[in-house]
Structure 1
Amino acid sequence: MVWRGSPKAKDKLFACLTYLVPLIEVIPFGIYLFAFFPPLLWLLIPLSPLLQFYYLGVGGFPIVALAIFIWLYAGIAQNPKLIHFLRYNAMQALLLSVFAALCRLVLSLFGISQQAFSGVIAGDSAWSGSLLGNTISILIFLFVAGSSFYSIFQCIRGLYPEVPIISEQAYAMVR
């Protein structure tokens, strides 16, 4: 049983791949940012095949997303046979993903989500929704996407990424 040690190249790669889940989860929040800065859409090109696969489901329920979540949690984050570096990063990626999902739920409860996203989906101008909804959506996108890219960069370097609040919880859950 390996608890700690320096991460090998494959461990770094798998740790980086776990951060694709929060990146995919947060893309709907960045829709206004993409409408305002179209060159940012080039960042989504590598993720486009994953987006179609990730949101496959039955009756509007994303089965693939749920299966990936369960696999990351039970198969990686809670597997004591894997090194701590990989388990920690998987848990941190899951917590970022849960944060994005909870933000989507809270915004939809207040009616901000439908109000903010309806303008872009309908083809109206980029800022047709409420200013509050647009601002909150962009801030959520920037936090989760920025944290994910920072974490990927740190994983490539073989270092533990430290994201405020999220890292403390990930570390506590993976001891």
Structure 2
Amino acid sequence: MSGEPPAVERVFATLPYVLPFLDGFQYGLYVFNNVPGGVGFAEAVLPLVVAFNSLPFSGIIFFIGLSFFTRPDSGLSRFVRFNIQQALVLDILLIIPSLFSGAAGMVPSSVAILGSNFVFYTMALVVTYALYSNARGELPDQVPVISEAAGLQIGPF
């Protein structure tokens, strides 16, 4: 990529991370209750999460809508398309823990809490890293597996 992306592109590159953040918010329950300031943060964000989840199929609609912008002919820069694709890959990976939610009652609560915290912290770290990198005008392409998958999906252009 030549040069630093303009501020408008940085903002548009950051917006797609709202999807995995809203989908992964549920895994932060134990974190919010045990980290100082966590309850206040959760209460501030909760109306947005509730509004998002109250719309039928909002996650799927948002996901499919974002997917259209990852094509090279979308008119968006590779910087923005990469971030969209990386947010989509992260969101797909957040489906995996939900597949095991039915088994949560069969494992000790400490294991369920550990798993939930791991998923939340991983999501939060990836989103924070992407936001920080985008603010600096750098491509957030150093997330193992996720960045590689995003890069392969959008190609070199």
Q: Write out per-residue CA displacement over residues 88-122 of structure 1, whole angstroms, 9 at most, x where no aligned residue.
A: 000001111111122212x224x11xx39xxxxxx
Q: Which amino acid aligns with 2:19?
A: V
- 1:170 is aligned to 2:125: no
**Structure 2: stretches of 5+ with no match in the other structure:** none
Tell me the CA shift for residue 46 of structure 1. 5.2
- Distance verdict in 2 for CA 1:150–1:42, change over 3 Å: farther
3-state secondary structure, aligned to 1:143: helix
- Equivalenced residue count is 152
TM-score under structure 2 normalisation?
A: 0.87
Q: Give distance in 1, aligned partners of 2:114 and 2:152.
A: 32
User: Equivalences for 1:1-175 in 2 at 5 Å?
Assistant: 6-44=4-42, 47-57=45-55, 62-74=56-68, 76-80=69-73, 81-105=75-99, 107-109=100-102, 111-112=103-104, 115=105, 130-161=109-140, 162-175=142-155
Tell me the CA shift for residue 65 of structure 1. 1.4
Q: Give distance in 2, aligned partners of 1:154 and 1:63.
A: 30
Cα root mean square deviation, aligned: 2.1
Q: Give distance in 1, aligned partners of 2:139 and 2:96.
A: 25
Q: Give distance in 2, aligned partners of 1:24 and 1:86.
A: 20
CA contact (8 A) 1:4 1:84 kept: no
Q: Write out per-residue CA displacement over residues 118-168 of structure 1, whole angstroms, 9 at most, x where no aligned residue.
A: xxxxxxxxxxx6111100110010001111011111001110112111000
Structure with more of its chain in helix, by fraction: 2
**Structure 1: stretches of 5+ with no match in the other structure:** 117-128
CA contact (8 A) 1:5 1:83 kept: no
Tell me the CA shift for residue 169 of structure 1. 0.3
Tell me the CA shift for residue 35 of structure 1. 1.4
Q: Which amino acid aligns with 1:147?
A: V
Q: Give distance in 2, aligned partners of 1:163 and 1:174.
A: 16
Q: Give distance in 2, aligned partners of 1:5 and 1:87.
A: 16
